[in-house]
Amino acid sequence: MTSPTLVVLAAGMGSRYGGLKQMDPVGPNGETILDYSVFDALRAGFGKVVFIIRGDIEEQFKQIVGSRFAGRIPVDYVFQELGKLPAGFSVPEGRTKPWGTTQAVLMAADAVREPFAVINADDFYGAESYRVLAQHLQSGTTDYAMVGFILRKTLSEFGSVARGICRVGSDDLLERVVEMTSIVPDGDHATNTDAAGQVTPLTGDELVSMNMWGLTPEVFPQLQGDFEKFLQVSGTELKSECYLPNSVNSLVIAGQARVKVLSSKDTWFGVTYREDRPSVVDNIGKLISAGLYPEKLWP
């Protein structure tokens, strides 16, 4: 049985956080959220980690984060670069913003030959989430997968967040995902305000994608096609991004992919804003006190 690979999206700029949050310590011995992600992935049976980073943070990232995993699990690094585009496309003058998570995943195409998971570097998904995803990836199915979380449990009291709102069929297959990029709490509910100022009320009970996907290498040419379509429409813009949930949604609607929605009892938490960090530190401390993680993650 082939061990799945963990692909980590760690190239984000951290503009709302105000720094490189993927390298910020949150554990009692300087552990980052990434440390806990890799720890959980190892326990679940993942056999390799591929970090997608930017070239300008390579040395710092390897020293602070990557060095912890030497001798524990094979590690590879790939780079998301603004100018790494399909033939016939170029970076418009003045653009500095990365092209988004679809392009980021495409950077891993040469490094992944087996079923793989995709996660965000700054999200804590919980041990069960990795277990259910590993089981799916090792089952031999051609279906992709997504671990879903409840919207209200993923919001920040310090500002807006981006979430993929999902519609799931009775067969637990994903029917549609709509990326909303400015969701804020609204009492027990939530609202999203789009770039045009249109407000969408949300119950807070919606199932959302937190970019925890189970995929196979067959997805790379599919994502490449969707990314090229995005560039044809928005490739001259300075800030538009091609989001992985939108690309998967396009594949589902076109009948090119089936995505099984998996559930986990674990609670997600993460650091969108710097003010979120104390809560993350506190949550990790509670998990350690409950015996779910060791006090010192890496002996």
pLDDT the model gives residue 181? 86
Per-residue confidence (pLDDT) for residue 282, from 0 to 100: 94
pLDDT of residue 16: 42
CA angle 132, 112, 164 (to 5 degrees): 50
The β-bridge relationship of strands 5-9 and 48-53 is: parallel
Q: Are the C-beta atoms of residues 252 and 175 closer than 8 Å to each other?
A: yes
Q: How many CA atoms lie within 13 A of 207 on its CB side?
A: 18
pLDDT of residue 104: 97
pLDDT at 15: 40
- pTM recorded for the entire structure: 0.91
**pLDDT at position 57:** 85
Domains of the chain in sequence order: 5-148+209-237+260-289 (3.90.550.10)
Q: Are 201 and 184 in contact (CB under 8 A)?
A: no
Per run of 10 residues, the mean pLDDT along the chain (length 299 residues) is 92 50 82 94 97 89 85 94 94 93 97 97 93 97 95 88 90 92 92 92 92 97 97 95 93 96 86 85 95 93
